[in-house]
Structure 1
Amino acid sequence: MSERSTTGFESAWDLASTIPGWLTEDQARLLFDSAQDLPDAPVLLEIGSHQGKSTIVLATAAHARGGRVVAIDPFVEGRLFGGASTRSKFERNVETAGLAGTIELVADYSTRARPAWDRPIDYLYIDGKHDYWTLSDDLKWAAHLPEGAPILVHDCYSSVGVTLGVLAHVLPSRNISYERRAGSLALFRVGRPSARDRARIVREVPWWLRNVAVKVLLRLRLRAVAARVFGHEGPYDPF
């Protein structure tokens, strides 16, 4: 990686790391690094922006290549998502980062925005609603990607709905291959998978089952058991 791109990531992470959200530094670096080989003026599409933690990382990478990020988030009201107040925080954070001109906000559900979408994209990051049906629909955005383009899925091999969607639609796919992961952030690419690529997905299943077991223990308030048996420290779900 060039010195310039390293500096760009560090600058983005200095700000992004102060924003609430479930994204580790290793995952942010994978988002950033996987954008480095995109063509000039790329369009990066993000599903699920919350307060802009990952958006800032993606927009920094896009801006360096004269591109932009399309951020899709309905900003649902409620305790978990925050609604209008979360949108205000998102807009304030991207403004603070000096990236508002690089980001196109689509305040809508990804499943509602997709059928009418008619523009090519170069990069797809999925971190929307974590149920099987939404993930299955979000994967259809890949139809707008060129060969070799990255598809990144957060909470892959961590969320039941997301992982079941990957097993049902990506494992048998003829045009999506699995590359690697950083924690629960998985990197796929548009391209015909080999048998080895498919096997790599299957080999992640035990890690997924471990994460599901941790979540169950945390729901049962058995945090000490999760730490002792699985080495999971902290009160949050694995991500």
Structure 2
Amino acid sequence: MKLFPFLLIIFLATLTLAQEHPAVTAQPNTVFVGADGRFEANPDTALVQFNISAQEETSRAAYDRASKAAEQVRQILRANGIEPKTAEIGYFSIQPVYDYKTPKRKLVAYRVNANVSLKLKDFSKIAPIVQQLSESDVTENQSINYTLEDMEAAKTRAVEDAYRRARESAAALARAGGRTLGELSYASVDTFENIRVVSPLQARAMPMRMEAAAPAPTEEFTPQSVVVTAHVNAMFTLR
């Protein structure tokens, strides 16, 4: 009775390995190698994300309050030389809020949520914008992430590095066997970006005003480099 689950586990493990490493049929007079490549660069884009939220007893009141909060955000952006249209809204929702303390739920309010993303090339604007958004007390869950605008170009550089390493390994193996490395006959590529867990920057308006003279949390720190890695499997002919 326990044989079937055991065989199923073996099958799933084999399937997983097959997905991670493509099966390549060995060919005469060929060499198959794999190598990792890496490309690292300073970020050129900062992604600032935050939520605009409002809760009131009626949906109309919640909508109006969220509209006023959005206008404050637009004023902050204009004050820092940024056109509001450069900011993007990821989602917008109006949801009822219920009280579940009693067996029969009771409608107590309506809540409006909107997610806003802003890409900045000028990193010097990050601190004043984040501080002013916090002081205005109209946004929640602020976060900052640094990235590259042209990520595809970075992936290409990582693939080139991985292929160079793979070819060097294949050439070394060919020389060790008294052969000469020939042309590329097969290749597969996987690329990976470093995934960062971004913690929301939550701050209350009062402490921010009290510490107005203090440097911003990101002041004088260098943004973390963006790292893209690639893995190349390659088969070359041997002469």
Tell me if both proteins adopt one fold, taking TM over 0.5 as the criterion. no
Larger Rg: 2
Q: Which has the higher helix share?
A: 1
Structure ranking higher in strand proportion: 2
TM-score after normalising by structure 1 = 0.22
Q: Which has the higher contact order (CA 8 A, sep 6+)?
A: 2
